[in-house]
């Protein structure tokens, strides 16, 4: 159908402390492409999301993102080497160890400064 194609879909990720979250995502590896009135546009390759200066705990505690990468172990090593958890520990950042999942993925969990749970992984089949 002409004119009904989709170009992109982005989630609005909540931020308890907007400036801390902006720094966190740059440190994780995203590029901040723009920011206007409490909405920051972050991208990494073809992947992107919008960080919003908005926070409700029940929303953030139930919000999840999935980032499919080439090598979850390499991502985990880089984030560990950067001490991402230590640098943001006061903001509740936590990170799990990579593991193989029965559904054909190897991933690890990263919890951002607002409590948003990220699954960062690669396909194993």
DSSP string, 51-81: EES---HHHHTT-EEEEE-S-HHHHHHHHHH
CA 114, CA 51: separation in Å to the nearest integer? 11
**Taking 70 as the threshold, does the pLDDT of residue 116 lie above it?**
yes
The CATH code of the domain that includes 78 is: 3.10.180.10
Number of structural domains in the chain: 1
Identify the band that residue 2 occupies on the pLDDT scale cut at 50, 70 and 90. Answer: confident
pLDDT score at 1: 59
Mean pLDDT of the chain: 96
In a domain, 3, yes or no: no
Q: How far apart are the first and last CA of the chain?
A: 34
In a domain, 73, yes or no: yes
In a domain, 107, yes or no: yes
pLDDT score at 75: 98
In a domain, 77, yes or no: yes
Structural domain boundaries, residue 119: 12-123
In a domain, 1, yes or no: no
Tell me how far CA of residue 52 lies from CA of 12, 55, 111, 114, in angstroms.
6, 8, 17, 11
CA 58, CA 116: separation in Å to the nearest integer? 11
pLDDT mean over 77-102: 98
In a domain, 6, yes or no: no
In a domain, 2, yes or no: no
In a domain, 115, yes or no: yes
């Amino acid at each position: 159908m002409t004119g009904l194609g989709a170009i992109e879909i982005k989630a609005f990720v909540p931020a308890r402390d907007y400036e801390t979250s902006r720094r966190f995502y740059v440190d994780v590896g995203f590029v901040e492409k723009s920011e206007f009135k409490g909405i920051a546009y972050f991208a990494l390759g073809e992947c992107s999301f919008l960080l919003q200066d908005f926070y409700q705990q029940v929303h953030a505690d139930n919000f999840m993102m999935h980032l499919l990468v080439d090598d979850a172990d390499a991502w985990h090593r880089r984030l560990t080497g950067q001490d991402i958890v230590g640098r943001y520990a006061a903001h509740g950042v936590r990170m799990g160890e990579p593991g193989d999942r029965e559904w054909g993925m190897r991933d690890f969990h990263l919890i951002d400064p607002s409590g948003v749970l990220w699954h960062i992984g690669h396909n194993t089949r």
